[in-house]
Amino acid sequence: MSEYTLYIGNRNYSSWSLRGWLACKLAGLQFKEVVIPLDRPETPALLREASPSLRVPVLKHGDLRVWDSLAICEYLAELSPRAGMWPADRAARAHARAISAELHAGFAELRKNMWMNIRARFPGKGRTHKALADVARVAAIWTEARRNYGAGGPFLFGKFSAADCMYAPVVTRFITWEPPLPDALRPYIDAVWSHPFMADWREKAIAEPWSLPAYDRPAD
C-alpha cells in the first residue's frame, strides 16, 4: 500500500486539485488518489475528515498532512530533489516561484469569470474587463518566462516544472473560454494540454459521473 494519499476534488472542475496532482506526478510519487466530490451533501463531512482547511488538494504522508497546492509543490521538491520540480538555475527558480506565488495569490477575476470546466467549451464568454486584464497579465508572464528561460523545451522554464503545474488549470480555462491571446503562446498551450499527465487527468475528468450545473453554463 502506498504511504502517500492525495485527496482531490472533481477532476473536471477542481483547478487546485489539478495543481497538486500534477506536482505528485512530476515528483514521480506513487500515491493513492481519493476523490471528494464537491458541492454534494456528503462533501463537508468528507472534507472535515481529510483536510484541516476544508479544502483540497491535501497530501497525506503518514501522519503528516500537507494542504494547499503550492505547499505540496514545495514539500515534494524537498522530498524528490532529483525530480527537478523547480528550475536548477537560481534566478530561474526565483522567477518560477514568483510567478507561481502570483498565480496562487491572485487572478480572482479570471477564476470568477472563466472557471475550470475541462469538458465545456464557452468560446467568447466570460470576457469582463477585469477578467481580460487577468488574461493579459498571464500572457505577459508566460511570454516573459518563455523568452528568458524557455530555451530548453516547450514549457515555461524549458522542461515541465512546478510553475507549469500551477498554470496548467489556466491553460484548460483558456481552451474552454478562448480569450484573446498572442499566437506566440499557442505552442505553450498545446504543450501543456497534450502533456501525458494532462491527457491522463482529462480522460478521467471526462469520465467522472458528477456535474455541477452552476459551472456547466457560462455567466450571462
Ligand X SMILES: N[C@@H](CCC(=O)N[C@@H](CS)C(=O)NCC(=O)O)C(=O)O
From 26-34, 49-57, 175-183, 212-220, span contacting ligand X (CB under 6 A): 49-57
Our CB check for ligand X shows the closer of 119 and 136 to be 119
From 52-60, 80-88, 131-139, 144-152, span contacting ligand X (CB under 6 A): 52-60
The count of C-alpha atoms lying within 13 angstroms of the C-alpha of 205, restricted to the half-sphere facing its C-beta, is 25
Do strands 32-35 and 4-8 pair parallel, antiparallel, or not at all (unpaired)? parallel
**Distance separating the N- and C-terminal Cα atoms of the chain:** 47
Among positions 4, 31, 34, 43, the unique one binding ligand X when judged by CB under 6 A: 43
Our finding on whether 164 is near ligand X (CB under 6 A) is: no
Our finding on whether 69 is near ligand X (CB under 6 A) is: yes
Give the three cell numbers for residue 169: 488549470
Closest residue to ligand X, based on beta-carbon distance: 55
Our finding on whether 113 is near ligand X (CB under 6 A) is: no
Cis status, amide bond into 57, omega within 30 of 0: yes
- With 0-12 / 13-18 / 19 or more C-beta atoms within 10 angstroms meaning exposed / middle / buried, residue 56 is buried
From 55-63, 84-92, 150-158, 196-204, span contacting ligand X (CB under 6 A): 55-63
**String of b and e for 169-208 (b: at least 16 CB within 10 Å)?**
bbbbbbbbbbbebeeebeebbebbeebebbeebbeebeee
Our CB check for ligand X shows the closer of 15 and 149 to be 15
Among positions 56, 76, 77, 156, the unique one binding ligand X when judged by CB under 6 A: 56
Site residue total, ligand X (CB under 6 A): 15
Give the three cell numbers for residue 148: 528568458
Among positions 7, 12, 16, 131, the unique one binding ligand X when judged by CB under 6 A: 16
- Those residues whose C-beta lies under 8 Å from the C-beta of residue 37, and which sit 6 or more positions away, are 9, 10, 43, 210
Our finding on whether 117 is near ligand X (CB under 6 A) is: no
* Interacting positions 89-108 with ligand X (CB under 6 A): 104
Among positions 11, 55, 146, 202, the unique one binding ligand X when judged by CB under 6 A: 55
Our finding on whether 172 is near ligand X (CB under 6 A) is: no
Give the count of beta carbons closer than 10 Å to the beta carbon of residue 27.
25
**Binding region for ligand X (CB under 6 A):** 9, 14-17, 38, 43, 47, 55-57, 68-70, 104
